Amino acid sequence: MRELTYWQAISEATVQCMAEDPTVLVLGEGVDDHKGTFGTTKTAFERYGAARVVDVPNSENACAGIAIGAAANGMRPLVVHTRADFMFLAMDALVNLAAKWRYMYGDQGGAPVVTRGVVGRGWGQGATHSQSPHATFGHYAGLYVATPASPADAKGLLVQALRGDTPVVLIENRNLYPMTGPVPEEPEPVPFGVGRIARAGDDVTVVAASLMVAEALRAADQLATRGVGVEVVDVRSIRPLDERIICESVARTGRLVVADTSWARYGFAAEVAAVVAETVPEALRAPVRRVTLPDCPAPVSWPLEEAFHPGADEIVEACLALVGDRRGELPRLTSAAAGFHGPY
Amino acid sequence: MTAAPADTVPAPVPADGAAPTGPEPAGPEAALIRDMVRIRCVEEELCDRYRDDQEMRTPTHFSIGQEATAVGVAAATGPDDLVYTGHRSHAPYLAMGGDLRAMVAELYGRESGCARGRGGSIHLVDRSAGFAGSAAILGEMISVAVGAGWSAALRGRPQVALTFFGDGATEEGVFHEAVNFAQVHRVPVVFLCENNLYSISSPLGQRQPAGSTITDRVTAYGLWARSVDGNDVYAVRAAARAAVQRCRTGAGPAFLELHTYRWREHVGPGWDHDHGYRSREEIDAWMARCPIRRAVEVARPTQPGLDDWVREWERRYRAEVRDAVRVARAAAWPPVSTLVDGAYGAGR
């Protein structure tokens, strides 16, 4: 199969969905500019123009509501936030309306608005340009929240979102954008709530989302040299969550590390740990380990930022601790995001 | 909660009187009056039941005294137009022709309610009547209406979206974002501000700058905006027709500030004139400008027998709402087994 980058996969999904469904619209601040949201909206704008790829005023709150009104009236709006942090300005519309619309109006049709939020980690993005709000949105019933980790899923989950009847939040870590992988040429949907085994292994299960899947795969490569078999579970979506694939893996390995790009408290890592504790408590041969952000906002200064974001190295440490081993002569790993260059 | 100020509650027409002898007035002006009488009857009856029975477990925001805004605007809409509202939703729902029984059943939390008992008073919906939804967070539905109108325009449909909200909602950022967007994209949406001077119990002067008006602020965005006597149903209808017509011809959004007044408390069935936030004199002055009585006075010279018919309508609609209450109370509750049904759409 031909390979695409993650951003190319998003772009292709957008263009193909717009071709097959004339109601699909792209809305966002600067979606029509020369950068085209890291390239993801550029081809769509070139092909469909300003009538369907719409640069909107700076109005995250209203635009979320406008997208909901359009969705409830038969359109398929895809709202794009170049920095996911701005989605907090859209919280009222997304949480109070989009998530609840179908239920509170008695299941007479929903407002299936699709929202992409890009996490801007790296290059000193700082406290309000680095955070990944997937767990925030994952808390609310009525929304689907996906964290595609591969180019194929970046395409397939977006296709499914634009065809489905439920509002969706897609959180994309921009450090995934240059990564390549096989991507089907056709717009094949990837369902929500169906995780994938990104790598098989028998000793430790690492459940990961988004960029942490890539980090976990690098950690697994290194641990394999030590004879430690790491199974990497890519959940793909955090709501709905594929509890079965998580619990079956942990039931086999007996050890669980959860790796996330956000904080531990009340987050994705806490949720996965709770699911395992509720479902297969007898399977755990060691306490659950969480590899997450320290309890502070993201700093800017380079060494602080490097220390703030966990990566493959921290996953290696957590896995070794669970199998009762020590790092020894294993070299330390840099994070998958380490090659990122500015200017911003 | 206090008793009604009975000495000041103006009846639209004298309470005693004979049954009408002539034919029922059929003209559009009589229909405005009839629709206002119906909404008044429904809401007064529901107020009494809400207070006395304690069975409607949903916060209700009544529009008693504000009937002219809903009825005047609804008269200017076409069959494909869509209306969205904030929390004060009953009157626009009924004015648009929303199903009364389904509304009452919704207030009683029944499966037969317009939102199957999931929404309540602040989430009414009747899409077949063009009442596309209401929601409680201030300003929330304003942007939704812009999206609905915009989507119609993008598809070349002659559909107009209209959205009711209060003066308080214009203080929210989303109102300004929505108005700005609508004007930039020439969206066929009519913004309908029911300025009743209070946000819960905070007076307008405490919340918005002295010497400015909501209409002025909207005009600064370039919108066609009009300040209208919201207790004059004919004036509301005329302004709404002009606004809808602008939208229909692609001239862009329109804004109406409809000056009116709610008689009852912000939320609930009570009278609250003794709580000090607004004066008895102010309430009395607005009740003297009762939109129904005013409309009747204007129409009386050309509508023989109108007063008799108003009385007849009162009888008819009080009976109708009592029947709706009876049907609602006898209706089934939603089965608890369906508690989580409908949160998500089909397919993953």
What's the pLDDT score for residue B17?
A: 65
CA-derived radius of gyration, chain A: 20
What's the pLDDT score for residue B7?
A: 54
User: Do residues A319 and A259 make contact, with C-beta atoms less than 8 angstroms apart?
Assistant: no
| In a shared domain, residues A99 and A245 | no
Count interface pairs A-B at CB distance under 8 A: 158
Pick B12 or A13 by higher pLDDT: A13
CATH code of residue A69: 3.40.50.970
**A-proximal residues of B, 274-313, CB under 8 Å:** none
What's the pLDDT score for residue A342?
A: 74
Whole-number Å distance between alpha carbons of A25 and A35: 18
Domain membership of residue A251 as a residue range: 196-323
Q: Within a domain: residue A275?
A: yes
Q: Is B115 on the interface with A (CB under 8 A)?
A: yes
The shortest CB-CB distance from B133 to any of A64, A77, A105 is to A105
| Mean pLDDT to the nearest integer, A2-18 | 98
ipTM, two decimals, is: 0.94
| Interchain CB distance below 8 Å, A65 and B144 | yes
| Mean pLDDT to the nearest integer, A282-306 | 96
Number of structural domains (chain A) is 2
What's the pLDDT score for residue B313?
A: 97
Neighbours of B287 (CB within 10 A): 18
DSSP B24: P
**Active-site residue, A129 included:** yes
Q: Within a domain: residue A342?
A: no
pLDDT > 90? residue B26:
no
Among residues A162, A183, A204, the one where a domain terminates is A183
| In a shared domain, residues A167 and A269 | no
Question: What percentage of chain B carries pLDDT values higher than 70?
Answer: 95
| Interchain CB distance below 8 Å, B115 and A105 | yes
Q: Is B117 on the interface with A (CB under 8 A)?
A: yes
Interval B240-285: pLDDT, tens: 999 999 999 999 999 999 999 999 999 999 999 889 899 999 999 9
Residue in A closest to B180 by C-alpha: A57
Question: Given the DSSP bridges, would you call strands A237-239 and A144-146 parallel, antiparallel or unpaired?
Answer: antiparallel
Rounded to the nearest angstrom, the minimum Cα separation between A234 and chain B is 17
What's the pLDDT score for residue A159?
A: 98
Interval B167-190: pLDDT, tens: 999 999 999 999 999 999 999 999
CATH code of residue A281: 3.40.50.920
| Interchain CB distance below 8 Å, B348 and A102 | no
What's the pLDDT score for residue B1?
A: 47
Q: Within a domain: residue A317?
A: yes
Whole-number Å distance between alpha carbons of A126 and A120: 9
Q: Is B147 on the interface with A (CB under 8 A)?
A: yes
| In a shared domain, residues A178 and A243 | no
User: Do residues A173 and A213 make contact, with C-beta atoms less than 8 angstroms apart?
Assistant: no
Q: Within a domain: residue A134?
A: yes
| In a shared domain, residues A31 and A78 | yes
For B250: left if phi > 0, alpha if psi spans -120 to 50, otherwise beta; the answer is left
| In a shared domain, residues A131 and A216 | no
Interval B112-157: pLDDT, tens: 999 999 999 999 999 999 999 999 999 999 999 999 999 999 999 9
Whole-number Å distance between alpha carbons of B224 and B221: 9
| In a shared domain, residues A48 and A123 | yes
| In a shared domain, residues A220 and A149 | no
What's the pLDDT score for residue A107?
A: 97
pLDDT > 80? residue B15:
no
| In a shared domain, residues A23 and A152 | yes
Q: Within a domain: residue A94?
A: yes
User: Do residues B223 and B170 make contact, with C-beta atoms less than 8 angstroms apart?
Assistant: no
pLDDT > 80? residue A344:
no
Interval A201-241: pLDDT, tens: 999 999 999 999 999 999 999 999 999 999 999 999 999 99
Tokens of B147: 């999206």
What's the pLDDT score for residue B10?
A: 58
pLDDT > 90? residue B16:
no
What's the pLDDT score for residue B14?
A: 57
Rounded to the nearest angstrom, the minimum Cα separation between B154 and chain A is 8
pLDDT > 80? residue A120:
yes
Rounded to the nearest angstrom, the minimum Cα separation between A50 and chain B is 11
The shortest CB-CB distance from A70 to any of B137, B150, B346 is to B150
| In a shared domain, residues A124 and A265 | no
pLDDT > 70? residue B3:
no
Q: Within a domain: residue A147?
A: yes
Residue in B closest to A239 by C-alpha: B348
How much is the pTM?
0.95
| In a shared domain, residues A163 and A265 | no
Whole-number Å distance between alpha carbons of B27 and B11: 23
Which of A81, A129, A134, A309 is labelled catalytic? A129
| In a shared domain, residues A129 and A205 | no
Rounded to the nearest angstrom, the minimum Cα separation between B322 and chain A is 24
Among residues A153, A183, A213, the one where a domain terminates is A183
Q: Within a domain: residue A189?
A: no
Neighbours of A329 (CB within 10 A): 6
User: Do residues A26 and A162 make contact, with C-beta atoms less than 8 angstroms apart?
Assistant: no
Interval A151-188: pLDDT, tens: 999 999 999 999 999 999 999 999 999 999 999 999 99
Q: Within a domain: residue A47?
A: yes
The shortest CB-CB distance from A66 to any of B82, B181, B344 is to B181
**C-alpha separations of A311 from A69, A265, A293, A337 in Å:** 40, 18, 10, 9
B348 pLDDT band, cuts 50/70/90, is: confident
| In a shared domain, residues A132 and A251 | no
Residues whose CB is less than 8 angstroms from the CB of residue A229 and which lie 6 or more positions away in sequence, other chains included: A200, A201, A202, A203, A204, A223
| Interchain CB distance below 8 Å, A64 and B145 | no
